[in-house]
Amino acid sequence: MDQMELAQEEWNTRRQAEICLKFHDNTNAVKHQRRSLKLCEQLFGEKSFKSTCARLALAQAIFLSKANLDDGIAVAEQARQRFDELGVAESENCVETQLVLVYLYAEQDQNEKAIEAGEQSIRILEKMQYSKSSTYTKLTGVLADVLNQQKKHDQALRYAMKGRTNSSPQKGGDANDYFRLLKESGRARMGLEDHEKACQEYEYLIYRVNDETGFPEDKRLEYLEEYAGVLKKIGNDERLGYIESKIAKLKNESQDNELPEVEKSRYSN
> Above pLDDT 90, what percent of the chain?
78
Given this model, what pLDDT does residue 176 score? Answer: 87
User: Rounded to the nearest 10 degrees, how much is the dihedral formed by the CA atoms of 206, 211, 216, 219?
Assistant: -10
Calculate the average pLDDT of the chain.
90
16-34: per-residue pLDDT in tens? 999 999 999 999 999 999 9
Higher pLDDT, 144 or 212: 144
CA atoms within 13 A on the CB side of 246: 18
Mean pLDDT, range 66-87, rounded to an integer: 95
Given this model, what pLDDT does residue 89 score? Answer: 86
32-47: per-residue pLDDT in tens? 999 999 999 999 999 9
Query: Among 116, 219, 122, which residue's Cα sits nearest to residue 165?
Result: 122
Given this model, what pLDDT does residue 91 score? Answer: 87
Asked if residue 77 has pLDDT above 70, the reply is: yes
d(Cα 163, Cα 125) in Å, to the nearest integer?
A: 12
Given this model, what pLDDT does residue 166 score? Answer: 87
d(Cα 21, Cα 27) in Å, to the nearest integer?
A: 9
> Above pLDDT 70, what percent of the chain?
92
d(Cα 190, Cα 169) in Å, to the nearest integer?
A: 22
Asked if residue 266 has pLDDT above 60, the reply is: no
Residues 6+ apart with CB under 8 A from 181: 137, 140, 141, 144, 160, 163, 164, 167
d(Cα 115, Cα 100) in Å, to the nearest integer?
A: 12
Residues 6+ apart with CB under 8 A from 102: 114, 117, 118, 121, 139, 142, 143, 146
Given this model, what pLDDT does residue 258 score? Answer: 57
Asked if residue 49 has pLDDT above 60, the reply is: yes
H/E/C letters for each residue in the chain?
CCHHHHHHHHHHHHHHHHHHHHCCCHHHHHHHHHHHHHHHHHHHCCCCHHHHHHHHHHHHHHHHHCCCHHHHHHHHHHHHHHHHHCCCCCCHHHHHHHHHHHHHHHHCCCHHHHHHHHHHHHHHHHHCCCCCCHHHHHHHHHHHHHHHHCCCHHHHHHHHHHHHHHCCCCCHHHHHHHHHHHHHHHHHHHHCCCHHHHHHHHHHHHHHHHCCCCCCHHHHHHHHHHHHHHHHHHCCHHHHHHHHHHHHHHHHHHHHCCCCCCCCCCCCC
